Amino acid sequence: MDKHDKSPIVSLGDITAALGLLSRLPVRVDTSHATARGAQAAWAYPIAGLILAALACAIAQIALMLGVPAPLTAGLALASLVIMTGAMHEDGLADSTDGLWGGWDKDRRLAIMKDSHIGAYGVIALVLSLGLRWHAITIAIDHGMLWPALIATSMLSRAAMVPLMARLPHARDTGLSHSVGRPTHTTAHIAEAIAIVATLIAFQFIGLWLIAAAVLAAIACALVAKSKIGGQTGDILGATQQVTDIAILLTIAAILT
């Protein structure tokens, strides 16, 4: 019997552990608890996304109250999310695109992904990610949907990382993803359920389109990662969050317009 069998399925301490891992917020993390729980705390990833989205929305709401135009407010909301997460997901997107499309075999792709330098693929991916998200958030603000859009997107995109952690093997024997470990399928289902329920509350039946977009984006990321490096890494998980985030925001923008 392993530690997953002995430990509870969920623990309130998992929320601060998730925030400590996925953000740069000054939260007090019980290191021993977080280490012992490892990937079993991943059910709380969408909760971390909810907190980050709420803070970004609050900043954007203040800007709107002060008369800041929607495009600039969208930029502030996006910048807030990037700053609060330390751009870790954006970094994963850049590293993944550089490695997956810049290398000719698994070993070379993983080596490129580990390299701290950024290449053309990574730069282009970041420009597209920031540009598409900024424009979609602007549309959400124009339609009075800032809060539901950012909350649903932040929760779904972080929940999308958990099933990849559970279902794909580690592509390398080191790195952040390997150190965190692999969650159980139950943990993945809890993360998915939390994000799905929150999305349906925010958007009702329209939320089904957002959930579908998230599922398709996550599956696409998983298939590409499995094909090119045989599994997942921390960079792949970050890229999955970004690609899923973009897919959901574009779906929201399409529905609103």
Higher pLDDT, 34 or 191: 191
Give how far the C-alpha of residue 20 lies from the chain's centroid of Cα atoms, to the nearest Å: 14
Residue 3 has pLDDT above 60, yes or no: no
Residue 147 has pLDDT above 50, yes or no: yes
Q: Per-residue pLDDT tens for 42-64?
A: 999 999 999 999 999 999 999 99
Residue 159 has pLDDT above 60, yes or no: yes
Q: What is the pLDDT of residue 2?
A: 41
**114/110 Cα distance (integer angstroms):** 6
Percent of the chain with pLDDT over 70: 97
Residue 1 has pLDDT above 80, yes or no: no
Q: What is the pLDDT of residue 6?
A: 62
Q: What is the pLDDT of residue 66?
A: 98
- The stretch 64-81 carries a mean pLDDT of 98
Higher pLDDT, 248 or 176: 248
Residue 155 has pLDDT above 50, yes or no: yes
pTM strictly above 0.75: yes
Residue 8 has pLDDT above 50, yes or no: yes
1-19: b or e for each residue (b if 16 or more CB lie within 10 Å)? eeebeeeeebbebbbbbbb
Q: What is the pLDDT of residue 4?
A: 45
Domain residue ranges in the chain: 46-256
**250/210 Cα distance (integer angstroms):** 9
Q: What is the pLDDT of residue 116?
A: 87
Instruction: List C-alpha distances in Å: 183 to 10, 13, 175, 186, 225.
Output: 12, 16, 16, 8, 18
- The stretch 10-32 carries a mean pLDDT of 91
